[in-house]
Structure 1
Amino acid sequence: MTVTLAIPTMLAQLTGAKRVTVDADTVGGALRALIARHPELQVHVFDETGALRTHLRLFHNEDTAHSLDEGVADGDTVTILQAVSGGAGESG
């Protein structure tokens, strides 16, 4: 199946594009195909145990992807979102 990955700006700096098309049957397969093409993403997507990093959220089309084993169909989109934290903090 041809699946499009929508990639956040911070990771797109490594892929050279905010959208990448891969062949995959599952959400996890799409991520693995992306990493096969761009190995430098491995440390940003998966931790040392192989689990998805906790600050990432995945969406399959417009719904939360609940599992890396979730199946995808031809033309689907998997969106990677990164949680962002921080800010100005307390002021004086």
Structure 2
Amino acid sequence: MATIRIPIPMRTLTGNQSEVQATGSTVGDVLRDLDARYPGMGARLFDDKGAVRRYVNVFLNDEDVRALKALDTPVKDADRITLIPAMAGG
């Protein structure tokens, strides 16, 4: 299982856990499993077309998945996925 680091604004969905685990062979599979385990997470992560929302950054072992294969990026059991919501303001 991959380990997913959950940002503070999303921890209400995971019972205030900062890290959780989910399964899947790709980043997209892991994030969909995360939503199945913690309902409501998918609405925070995915847009209406199933893509990661623009304001959510997803990293696989410190690499932005947008620079890899996005949701099709392969995941191994020992991998760490970090979710970082973009900040706005001035």
Match of 1:90 in 2: none
Using the alignment, how far apart are the partners of 1:80 and 1:9 within structure 2?
A: 10
- TM-score w.r.t. length of structure 1: 0.86
Using the alignment, how far apart are the partners of 2:74 and 2:8 within structure 1?
A: 25
Matched, 1:51 2:51: yes
How far 1:33 moved relative to its partner? 0.5
Q: Which runs of 5+ in 2 are unaligned?
A: none
Counting aligned pairs with the same residue, the percent is 37
How far 1:20 moved relative to its partner? 0.5
Structure 1 residue matching 2:40: 3-state secondary structure: helix
- Report the residue type matching 1:63 in the other structure: E
Q: How many residues align?
A: 86
Q: Is the radius of gyration larger for structure 1 or structure 2?
A: 1
Match of 1:77 in 2: 80
CA RMSD after TM alignment: 1.1
- TM-score w.r.t. length of structure 2: 0.88
Kindly report structure 1 stretches of 4+ aligned residues shifted beyond 6 Å.
none
| Conservation of the 8 A alpha-carbon contact between 2:7 and 2:84 | yes
